[in-house]
Structure 1
């Protein structure tokens, strides 16, 4: 069953665009690990927040991706850009009006 992870990442003040650039760098590895979509967004009303929506083949694919060396390296590179404020939610997708 498809797994969704939607969240917010707090960016260090003034470094949101750097964090966005890091998060949107092309990664075929994510696709190989089972990521179906990884969408990054901003809202000018929250200038130090980045919004991320991920769709994965399963919760297990998402969890196991966190151990991949490429993902670990990306997380380590992003840490200096993060304020430590995080939010969000996770759920199993049960359907969509856009696909079968």
Structure 2
């Protein structure tokens, strides 16, 4: 079975990028408890001062969907909503293997 990955972009209110990064890094920390979440990376680029990118790798798509209903995830979503001005799922992908991915 191939793993599920996604690459997403959040846009936030001007000056709120670091706040959003902090919230997403808390999410990454909470994902350490879930074996199904293998990678949760938070990225920024100077070219987009109000954007934060997230790359996630999961054992499967159902595991990702299930994580969204966790109390810890819901709490972080509620904290982030007031500063989010847009969300884009850039791509969902099927991981085929490589360095850093278990089970291949």
Stretches of 4+ aligned residues off by more than 3 angstroms: 26-29
> What is the TM-score of this pair, normalised by structure 2?
0.84
Residue 6 of structure 1 is matched in structure 2 by: 7
Does structure 1 conserve the Cα–Cα contact (< 8 Å) formed by 2:37 and 2:57? yes
CA–CA separation in structure 2 for the residues paired with 1:54 and 1:74: 16
Counterpart pick for 2:37 among 28, 35, 38? 35
Residue 23 of structure 1 is matched in structure 2 by: 24
Counterpart pick for 2:47 among 34, 39, 45? 45
Residue 85 of structure 2 is matched in structure 1 by: 83
CA–CA separation in structure 1 for the residues paired with 2:51 and 2:26: 18
CA–CA separation in structure 2 for the residues paired with 1:64 and 1:15: 28
List runs of 5+ in structure 2 lacking aligned partners. Answer: none
CA shift for structure 1 position 26: 6.4
Instruction: Supply the RMSD in Å over aligned alpha carbons.
Output: 1.7
1:29 to 1:47, Cα distance in 2 relative to 1, 3 A:
closer
Say which structure is richer in strand.
Answer: 2
1:20 to 1:29, Cα distance in 2 relative to 1, 3 A:
closer
Aligned residues: 99
CA–CA separation in structure 1 for the residues paired with 2:27 and 2:74: 16
